[in-house]
Amino acid sequence: MLPYWRLSAYYFFYFAFVGTFAPYFSLYLKSLSFSAWDIGVLNSLMPVMRVAAPNLWSWLAERIGAQTPIVRLAGLMSVVGFSLLFFTRSFAGVFFAMALMSFFWSAAIPLVDTLTLSHLGSQAQRYGRIRLWGSIGFIVAVLAVGAALDAMPIAGLLPMTMTTLVGIFACALLMPEAPKPPHQADHSPIADILRRAEVRALFVACFFMSAAHGALYVFYSLFLVGNGYSTAAVGWLWTLGVLAEIGVFIAMPHLLRLFTIRSMLLFSFACAVARFLIIGWFVESAPLLVLAQLLHGATFGAYHAAAVAAVGHWFGTRHQSRGQAIYGSVSFGAGGMTGGLVSGLTWDWVGPAATYSISSLFALIGLAVILVSWRPSAQSDGR
C-alpha cells in the first residue's frame, strides 16, 4: 500500500523548514550586521552543498541498497548543525553551522523523491498530489513565522526553525523503505542517458532557472521590508506564490496529459523572464507584486514537476536516485549557488532592479537552451 500520509508528512515538515528559513533568515543575518556579500555567501552554502552532497549520498544509497537510513541520518545531523547557531553570532561560527547543516540537509530530498516515485510505481503522475503537502507546510510556516516576527525579536526565528527540523527528523524515522523494483538488464547505462541532447539541455536549463531564483530566495524579503512592507505582508506574498504552486501540483496529472514536458518547461521559463522583471522594477506596485508571486506556480510548480517527470522517464528505476541527485545538484546546487553569489555581489553594486534583471536574463538563457537544444519527440517528452 502507498504510505501516502507518511510521505506527505515528510514533505510538509521539509518545506515548512524552507518556509521558515528562506524568507526570513536573511533578516536574521542582517540583524547580526553582516554585509550583503556576507549574506549572499552564507545563503549560498546550502546550494553549494547540494552540488556534490546529493550525488555522494545517492551513490551510498545505491551501495547499501536502501534510502531510509541516509534520510534518517540526514535529519539527525541537520538538527545538530542548526543547533550550533544558538551559540554563535560570528561570521565564521554561522558559516560552520550552516555548512554542517546544509551538507546533511541537502542529502534528503533527492532520496525522498526517489522513494516516493518508487512507492508510486506506474502512478508517477500522482507525485504532485503528495508533493503539494510540502507547499502546504511552506504556507503554514511562512504565515505563522511572518506574523510572529511582527511581535517578537528576529532571534525568535531560531527556535521556530529548529521545530521544523525536529519534525523532519521525526518523519524520517517513520518513513518506510520502498520495495525494490525488478532489475532492468536492458536499461541504458547512465553515461548513455547523460549523452542525450534533451537530457543535457534540461540540466543546463535547470541550472539557469535556479540561478534566476537566487536573488528571490536571498534578498526578496529584505527588498520588500526595505520598501515599506511588513513581515506579515511579506509572508502573505510568499504564500500567494505557494498557493499557485499547489494549484499546479493538483492539476499536474491533467496537465501532463494535455501538454508535453518540453512545452510546459518553455512556458515556465517564459513566465520567469517576466516575473523577475516585475519584481525588480515594480516593487512599489502591490498588484504587480501579487501577479509576480502568482507566476511562481509556473516558475517553480510546473517547472519542478515537469523536470522531475522528465528525469523519472529518462533514468528509469535503475538510475532513478542518481538522476534525481544530478538534477538537484545541477539546478538547486550549482544554479542556486551561482544565483546567490551573483545577487550578493550585484545587490549593493548595481542595485536591486538590475539584480533582478540579471535573474530575468538567466531565465531567458534557460528558455533558449530548451528551445534550441531539445528537439521535440515522443521519446524525449515522455509520451
Confidence at residue 381, expressed as pLDDT on a 0 to 100 scale: 59
382 is a domain residue: no
Nearest to 81 by CA among 104, 113, 65, 112: 104
> What are the Cα distances from residue 56, in Å, to 62, 106, 148, 262?
10, 11, 38, 29
383 is a domain residue: no
Average pLDDT over residues 376-382: 60
247 is a domain residue: yes
183 is a domain residue: no
Q: 127-145 pLDDT, tens per residue?
A: 778 888 998 998 899 889 9
Torsion of the alpha carbons at 290, 293, 294 and 297, rounded to the nearest 10: 180
Average pLDDT over residues 340-348: 91
Q: CATH no. for residue 31?
A: 1.20.1250.20
Could you list the residue range(s) of the whole structural domain that residue 328 is in? 4-176+189-373
Q: 214-262 pLDDT, tens per residue?
A: 999 889 989 999 999 998 898 899 889 989 988 998 888 888 889 999 9
Average pLDDT over residues 23-29: 91
Using DSSP, state whether 252 is helix, strand or coil: helix
pLDDT at 274 over 50: yes
* Verdict on whether the full-model pTM lies above 0.75: yes
Q: 304-343 pLDDT, tens per residue?
A: 989 988 998 888 767 777 788 889 889 988 998 899 889 9
Average pLDDT over residues 183-205: 81
Percent of the chain having pLDDT more than 90? 55
13 is a domain residue: yes
Which single residue is written with the C-alpha cell 523572464? 273
36 is a domain residue: yes
Q: Are 310 and 202 a contacting pair, CB within 8 Å? A: yes
228 is a domain residue: yes
Taking the alpha carbons at both ends of the chain, their separation in whole angstroms is 27
The CA distance from 215 to 205, in Å, is 17
**Looking at this protein, which amino acid is placed at residue 134?**
G
Q: Are 205 and 265 a contacting pair, CB within 8 Å? A: yes
29: exposed, middle or buried (Cβ count in 10 Å: 0-12, 13-18, 19+): buried
Number of folded domains that form the chain: 1
Assign 186 a pLDDT band (cuts: 50, 70, 90).
very low
379 is a domain residue: no
